[in-house]
Chains A and B, each alone.
Chain A
Amino acid sequence: MLVSILRQGDYLLASINAALDDSEMRRFQEALVERIGDERCRGVIIDVAALDVLDSYAAATLGSLADMARLRGAETVVVGVSPEIAFTMVQLGMSIPHVHTALDLEQGLQVLGRLTSPLPPPRP
């Protein structure tokens, strides 16, 4: 499987398991945004450790994915950016706008916990 999307509590954990081309990346974006609405989740973690590159298109797609997720009430954290990809992105002068990053899944969950504080209890 090129990508997998699993639900864990209030969050979705999405893993990219291989190099994706642009159509696959776009398809992943659509599928994930759809799942966010279907599952009414409040946070998304995207693990990009298996991506071979994070070029301008991949970064833009992750960025707009996070924007769409936010419009649907979910925060996005990208985890698993390798040192090689981090180096390349800095050299490119590129960042993923509006996207939080964390080292790994564990830290990603902590970041999401802070970002999505529990909803206030419904008023009587």
Chain B
Amino acid sequence: MSAARPVAPPAGAPAPAELLEIRTIVRRVIASRVRDSHMVDDLVQETLAKVLTAWGRIDPDTAIPYAIATARNVVASTWRHLDTTERNLHRVVDLLPADRPEDAVLDREEGDAVATALTHLPDRDRALLVAHDVEGRELAELARESSTSPGALAAQLKRTRARLRVEYLLAMDHREPPTPQCRPVLLALSGGDRRRQRELDVSGHLLACPYCADLGRPLSQRASDGTSTRIAVGADADVVLARQTGRDVAISLGFSATDGTVIATAISEVTRNIVKFAGTGEVRIGRLQEPARCGLLVVARDAGPGISDVDLALRDGHSTYGGLGLGLPGCRRLMDEFVVESESGRGTTVTMRKWRSTGGPGGR
């Protein structure tokens, strides 16, 4: 494969932090679809190689959706390949030929998706995108030609890229959005427009619509608005992302390593419940600041079937699946405040708070 050759990174190579972020997301996407860890490693490497090879050609703004789409394709083609050869997946990974004929097909599929996405843009937007991102013309020059300001064009470009991301994901997915709300919701998500997101009740829609929850994840897998970080939850791998984010936030707020583990464990339990019982939902992690103390807030929400008897679910030993029955009751012991609100058929919200003990950073 061409990517196996050492290639000097082009001028537009990703920064290390960016590469790390892409790598984390790619791993999550693949790990949620493939169980064998060796195969996950192989597919992550393969995906990153493809993304890096294409780096010069992709807009940095679309790098993450591009990486996610590539990861999905790599997994899909591997499954197709393995399906026909052997059922015992983890044993045949090594037998995969290094260079597969599907690769050409996949590259074409991605190209087609970008082309389809471009046709969905209004002419004016497409012309601007091509002039600036493809032909490399300066905004100032383009602004003079159309007698507008570079600032206005920059805003238009930002909206257009957000739209292209959505159209690209829709084109790669081959499914029709189930409701007329879906496209505007995904657009608001992609553009990061908070006012529009509130108008459309984007978080409500994401909780109720599995299609948008799935497609929207790359657009907002881990979105931070300065006060809290939101993690979209829809697969086992998201449980790990949520608890690791929780630990990172806790440590950044001065919690001890032990408290970091305590908080990560509680987040793991409540996030797992979302995946098990509701399928999709979200976890928000934020800081609490009061005059005398500082702490961490976790809100886990879903629109699933709900818990019919919260008191029973919180009793030690009660478990409706294979755990030890310590999930929710355990969380109550781990955190300082723990509230479950649930209504049958309307979903569940778990709110947890942990306060940092006084005595300086790192103190217990």
Main secondary structure of the interface of A (DSSP, over half): helix
Residues of chain A contacted by B40 (CB below 8 angstroms): 2, 24
Question: Bound complex: CA of A87 vs CA of B259, how far in Å?
Answer: 9
Q: Of all chain B residues, which has the CB nearest A58? A: B268
User: Is B261 engaged at the interface, CB distance under 8 Å to the other chain?
Assistant: yes
Question: Bound complex: CA of A20 vs CA of B272, how far in Å?
Answer: 13
B318-349 interface bits toward A, Cβ cutoff 8 Å, 1 = contact, 0 = none: 00001111110010011000000000000000
Question: Bound complex: CA of A20 vs CA of B269, how far in Å?
Answer: 14
Residues of chain B contacted by A6 (CB below 8 angstroms): none
Question: Bound complex: CA of A84 vs CA of B308, how far in Å?
Answer: 34
User: Is A39 engaged at the interface, CB distance under 8 Å to the other chain?
Assistant: no
Is there an interface contact between B333 and A91, defined as CB atoms closer than 8 Å?
yes
User: Is A103 engaged at the interface, CB distance under 8 Å to the other chain?
Assistant: no
A39-55 interface bits toward B, Cβ cutoff 8 Å, 1 = contact, 0 = none: 00000000000001111
Is there an interface contact between B239 and A94, defined as CB atoms closer than 8 Å?
no
Question: Bound complex: CA of A104 vs CA of B316, how far in Å?
Answer: 31
Question: Bound complex: CA of A72 vs CA of B262, how far in Å?
Answer: 34
Is there an interface contact between B240 and A21, defined as CB atoms closer than 8 Å?
yes
Segment of B15-23, B30-38, B152-160, B282-290 in the binding face: B30-38
Is there an interface contact between A57 and B272, defined as CB atoms closer than 8 Å?
yes
A-B contact count (CB 8 A): 101
**Interface of chain B residues 258 through 312 with chain A (CB within 8 A):** 258, 260-262, 264-265, 268-269, 272, 275
Q: A26, A53, A93, A94: which contacts B268 (Cβ < 8 A)?
A: A53
User: Is B247 engaged at the interface, CB distance under 8 Å to the other chain?
Assistant: yes
User: Is A22 engaged at the interface, CB distance under 8 Å to the other chain?
Assistant: yes
Q: B90, B244, B316, B333: which contacts A19 (Cβ < 8 A)?
A: B244
A61-85 interface bits toward B, Cβ cutoff 8 Å, 1 = contact, 0 = none: 0010000000000000000001111
Is there an interface contact between A52 and B239, defined as CB atoms closer than 8 Å?
no
Chain A residues touching B, range: 20 to 34
**Most A Cβ at <10 Å: residue of B38, B260, B268:** B268
Is there an interface contact between A60 and B257, defined as CB atoms closer than 8 Å?
no
**Interface of chain A residues 1 through 54 with chain B (CB within 8 A):** 1-3, 19-24, 26-28, 31, 52-54
Is there an interface contact between B334 and A88, defined as CB atoms closer than 8 Å?
yes
Is there an interface contact between B237 and A21, defined as CB atoms closer than 8 Å?
yes
Residues of chain A contacted by B325 (CB below 8 angstroms): 56
Residues of chain B contacted by A2 (CB below 8 angstroms): 37, 40-41
Is there an interface contact between A21 and B262, defined as CB atoms closer than 8 Å?
no
Main secondary structure of the interface of B (DSSP, over half): helix
Residues of chain A contacted by B161 (CB below 8 angstroms): none
Is there an interface contact between B31 and A55, defined as CB atoms closer than 8 Å?
no
Contact (A56, B261) CB under 8 Å given A1-B37, A21-B239: no
Contact (A53, B264) CB under 8 Å given A24-B31, A84-B257, A93-B316: yes
Q: B35, B258, B269: which contacts A24 (Cβ < 8 A)?
A: B35
Q: B90, B327, B333: which contacts A56 (Cβ < 8 A)?
A: B327
Is there an interface contact between B38 and A1, defined as CB atoms closer than 8 Å?
yes
Is there an interface contact between A19 and B240, defined as CB atoms closer than 8 Å?
yes
Residues of chain A contacted by B31 (CB below 8 angstroms): 21, 23-24
User: Is B243 engaged at the interface, CB distance under 8 Å to the other chain?
Assistant: yes
Question: Bound complex: CA of A59 vs CA of B264, how far in Å?
Answer: 15
Interface size on B, residues (CB 8 A): 37
User: Is B236 engaged at the interface, CB distance under 8 Å to the other chain?
Assistant: yes
**Most A Cβ at <10 Å: residue of B265, B272, B322:** B265
Is there an interface contact between B41 and A92, defined as CB atoms closer than 8 Å?
no
B343 CB, nearest partner CB in chain A, Å: 25
Is there an interface contact between A92 and B240, defined as CB atoms closer than 8 Å?
no
Residues of chain B contacted by A3 (CB below 8 angstroms): 37
Residues of chain B contacted by A24 (CB below 8 angstroms): 31, 35, 37, 40, 236
**Most B Cβ at <10 Å: residue of A3, A21, A63:** A21
Residues of chain B contacted by A60 (CB below 8 angstroms): 322-324
Question: Bound complex: CA of A55 vs CA of B272, how far in Å?
Answer: 10
Q: Of all chain B residues, which has the CB nearest A17? A: B37
Question: Could you list some 8 contacts between A and B, CB below 8 A?
Answer: A2-B37, A53-B261, A56-B324, A56-B330, A60-B324, A83-B258, A87-B261, A92-B326
Q: Which residues of B contact A (CB under 8 A)?
A: 31-32, 35-38, 40-41, 90, 236-237, 239-240, 243-244, 247, 257-258, 260-262, 264-265, 268-269, 272, 275, 316, 322-327, 330, 333-334
Q: Which residues of A contact B (CB under 8 A)?
A: 1-3, 19-24, 26-28, 31, 52-57, 59-60, 63, 82-85, 87-88, 91-94
